Structure 1
């Protein structure tokens, strides 16, 4: 009886070690990949989508629109309590540019919602090539969610630099939580692909 308990304890300890090691190794790979992301040197697309929620995202997306990288910009996930004028003033956006070429999506409350807004907007305007602007740590998951709904479209990731996880505790927490969310979405899409390819 004692030996069985010892064997069981060793087995669970070994399993726990493997899980922790796998998570740490996965996060190290994720952090290394994200930290090496650079904005594309040349950008040309039908439209631009910025996912709200991170510092500098909207300003970067507006600059791309001003430079002619896309014809229209969707700001996805705008707080319903924020007025159009408040949003325009917060990013110092030219009034004419704002009225002609910027659309506000107010339904999305998470990345899945962003993907749904993006799909509806892209369908409405017939856009096939789209630049996605969001924080660098959010790029892997956002692209996965968007591709899940828009597999036939070309999505160009434009990462906005953010503090690295080794710079402060807030950044470390943000990156770890985002990695766990990314891993869950990655496994979900992997399972979908496996089931889709399974014989009926």
Structure 2
């Protein structure tokens, strides 16, 4: 039993090392049909809007927006034109967590019959967000990861690593 626990501790440590050292990075110039931006850490929404402005995506879903936030307030805060809000930006307010972001995204993608999305989230959140999104989307929808670089604390990395492990284990259990 001791050897098993020691082995488990080594696997945990090596996994945590991998998780913290090799965080995903920004995506190169590839495009997607739409950008998906879960609310949360700084820089996510700005990156999604930048992609929209540059024509790298045609639409943007910001998922997990507080239901009290009105489109006009969002537009004013992020300096988005009324025209761009009407044509290209959707504020989703049904999600309260990463799994909810994935569900909300899947419904939005299905309604628009999209074939590829660009997931924009913080580097430390990317792996778990991608796992949840992959589970929610049909297999024929491509997901491109576009991580926003950050300087996460050890606490954030520790918590997110364990959330990722739980997501994987729960996924195996759900089958």
Q: TM-score, normalised by structure 2?
A: 0.91
CA contact (8 A) 2:94 2:104 kept: yes
Pick from 68, 86, 91 the counterpart of residue 81 of structure 1.
68
Pick aligned residue for 1:156 from 121, 126, 144: 144
Query: What's the RMSD between the two structures over aligned residues?
Result: 1.6
1:70 matched residue in structure 2: 57
Partner of 1:3: none
TM-score, L = length of structure 1? 0.81
Find 1:28's aligned residue among 8, 17, 22: 17
Structure 2 runs not aligned, ≥5 long: none
Please state how far the C-alpha of 1:21 moved relative to its aligned partner.
3.0
Aligned length: 174
CA distance in 2, matches of 1:81, 1:20: 44
1:7 aligned partner:
none
What do the CA deviations read for 1:17-64 (whole angstroms, capped 9, x no partner)? 444333222110111221xx3222212211111010110100100000
Pick the aligned partner of 2:101 from 101, 114, 129: 114
SS of structure 1 residue aligned to 2:117: strand
**CA radius of gyration, larger in:** 1
Deviation string, structure 1 residues 116-141 (Cα, Å, up to 9, x no partner): 11110001111011101000001100
Whole-angstrom distance in 2 between the partners of 1:85 and 1:18: 54
Residue 183 (structure 1) aligned with residue 161 (structure 2) = no
Moved more, 181-190 or 62-71: 181-190
Do the aligned partners of 2:128 and 2:163 also contact (CA within 8 Å) in 1?
yes
> Unpaired segments of 5 or more residues in structure 1?
1-10, 165-170, 196-200
Q: CA deviation at 1:95?
A: 2.3
Q: Which range moved further: 123-132 or 42-51?
A: 42-51
Task: Quote the residue 1:168 is aligned against.
Answer: none
Deviates more, 1:151-160 or 1:88-97: 88-97
Once residues 75 and 128 of structure 1 are traced to their aligned partners in structure 2, the CA distance between those partners, rounded to angstroms, is 18
Q: Secondary structure at the match of 1:141?
A: helix
